[in-house]
Each structure stands twice: as C-alpha cells, then as structure tokens.
Amino acid sequence: KQQPFTSFQQLAPVPPITNSRYGSSISQNLNHFAALVGMPGTGTDAGVIHTYRRSEDNTYVRNIILTLDAINTAGFGNSVDFGNQTWGVSGAPSSLGIGSVANNGYCGVIWRDPAAGTATNPNPYIIKQLLTIPDQSKLSVADVEFGYSVAVSKNERWMYIGAPGINTVYAYGRVDWTAQTMSVTPTAPLASLYIADDIQINNANQLNVYVNSGLLTLGVDYTVSLDLTTILFTGTIPTSGDYVNV
C-alpha cells in the first residue's frame, strides 16, 4: 500500500545553532508559496523567524530572517501562523513585562508584501505591528505567556492570541487603514488635544501634527499620552487663532 505522505525535503538553519529550538513552530500560506519556521531559542534568547519561498522545482529556499526588535524580547518564534497569503503572527511568550517580570509576552504581526520580489523591493516580509497584552493591568504580571499560541483566520480578518498563564485568549479584528484627520482652531492656549474620537493609532509615530501648516516634531514640539488618545504640546503651544491639523 502506498504511503499517503513521503518526505521530499529537509529544512535547517544556516549555520546550525545548538539549542536554537528551530522548528518549534511551522506554518505556510494557502498556496504553499511561503513558509515560516520559528526558532525561539532557550532561556532569554530573543528568537527569530526563518522565512522561505518556493522555488521553481517546488522546494523551499531560504529567504530572510525576521526579528522582533523590542526591548526584553525572548522566545520569538515559539508560535507562528499564516493566514491566507499576506498576514501572519508569531508569539514571544518569554518576553519580559514591566519591571522585568518573566514570561509576560509579546507578539509580532507579520506582513508579506505581495508586490515584493523585485530588485527595488526584494524583501517580502516586515513586522507590521508589535502587540502586548491588551489588559494593561497584566503588563507587570509574571507568567502570563501572551503569545504562547496564535491563529489567523483564512480570510485574514481575525487573529487570536493565547495567554495560558491567565487562562485567556485575546481576539483581534483587522481594521484596514483609512486616512484620519482632524482640525481645530483654539480660542485659548492649547496645551493638549484629545484625538481619540477622530483618530486611532497604534504608536505615536503614526501622527503628523501641523500648526499653521508647519510640521511639528515628535519629542520636541509634542508628545503623545501613553494611552495614545491625547497630544501634549511641549514646545510652542498653539494659541488663539492658530490652525492645528492632525
């Protein structure tokens, strides 16, 4: 009787790394064109994702290595999942939380650029978003293990991240980017501007703030509150009659 599955290729990290735990997680996209292999390492190792693409003879060849460039990352690649063709996610559940508590956890959202593969755009993969546990009260709790398990729906509209240390799964829905703007003309000095009713961001660098058509500089002219809802002007504060555009 013919066996339903036969081995045709072996993948391994180059160069080999002792105790790298390469292969801790594996996923491929639906048309089998791309594959992701997690290599979380051990202990405090940051971990990486090895990416592969299918060659003309249908074997996988090495592409790039993805890292999660966040402070105190540990165990990136412990879990990984591809959705359809474009979006994936990988967990780093050993990452430290606030106060360096152990095993709090991160996740990196992976985006594969469908237009990549040319001389001017050779890199098809980027880490599009860094996720920490949504419940901020848990950021200083040890052994949450946010990112221990991950899943992306086949239509790439939904993503799920497990945190078994607190017996919780977090669900995320994809919100496609749209242009978001707001404008105000203050009638008095404006030390802060609440933006969350009109603009939602994941990090402060996503904002462009203008006063009277002049672009302000983040960290010099303004900062953004930790909950990303309010602009705090720190340089020249807009005053009555100025035109503020975000």
Torsion over CA: 184, 185, 187, 190 (sign): positive
CA separation for the pair 85, 88 (Å, rounded): 9
pLDDT (0 to 100) of residue 31:
81
pLDDT score of 69: 87
Tens-digit pLDDT profile for the chain (246 aa)? Answer: 577 888 888 999 888 888 899 999 999 988 888 899 999 998 789 999 999 888 888 888 888 899 998 999 999 999 999 999 889 999 999 999 988 999 999 999 999 877 665 555 556 788 988 999 998 889 999 999 999 999 999 999 999 999 999 999 999 998 776 778 899 999 999 999 999 888 888 778 788 999 998 999 988 999 999 888 999 999 889 999 999 999
Write the DSSP string, 124-165: -EEEEEEEE-S-GGGTT-TT--TTSEEEE-TTSSEEEEEEGG
